[in-house]
Amino acid sequence: MPDTVSTPRVLALVGMPGAGKSLCAQHLEQRGFFQFRFGGIVTSEVERRGLALLPEHERVVREEFRAQDGMAAIALRALPILREELARRQSIVIDGLYSFSEYELLQAEFRSMMVVVAIVAERSVRYARLAARPERPLTPEEALSRDFAEIKKLEKGGPIAIADFTLLNNDAPDAVLAHLDDIIVRLGLKP
């Protein structure tokens, strides 16, 4: 973790699909933290357009947003909500910071208040989770296609590589959540 972080207030969770970002965000939400899912901006737009929540529709919307507003498009749309919540709360959790441009935008906005936690898991574990999830399940072929799209088109690797902390999530959820709780205590984050 950088020495410049003294009182973090923004915890951004990053990772590939199926790694466990939402699991960690939901855990923190149950502990009283406000959590904002960047992917919710995309799914809301898909629904607003009257389209089914399918990976190809989400991909089209993500790519359209970024074609219109650059690679930081999702963070730009989220920033007013994040500022508002920070004005009311001690700290917030961002579920699914995607591109390096989003990271740079949020880093410029929040500076030392932001800490990034990468959640990682083996690809086979992630794909099994994605196939078994009740909402928007993915076949292994769809998961691979989404991985490639997110790595090539969305700059997803940068925030994962530069994370302040990395949690391995190959096993039962209790293990990664215990490590996440340790980070929360270490940083002194409070809801």
CATH 2.60.40.730 for the 10-187 domain, yes or no:
no
What is the phi/psi pair of residue 53, to 5°? -75, 85
Residue 104 burial by Cβ neighbours in a 10 Å radius (0-12, 13-18, 19+): middle
Domain ranges, ordered by start, for the chain: 10-187
Give residue-wise pLDDT tens across range 78-113: 999 999 999 999 999 999 888 999 999 999 999 999
Length of the chain: 191
Residue 109 burial by Cβ neighbours in a 10 Å radius (0-12, 13-18, 19+): middle
Give residue-wise pLDDT tens across range 39-73: 999 999 999 999 999 878 988 998 899 999 999 99
Question: Tokens for 32?
Answer: 């009283």
What pLDDT shows up at residue 6?
61
What pLDDT shows up at residue 5?
45
Contact indicator for 29, 136 with CB cutoff of 8 Å: no
Give the rounded percent of residues in the chain with a pLDDT score beyond 90. Answer: 83
The whole-model pTM stands at 0.90
Share the mean pLDDT of the chain. Answer: 92
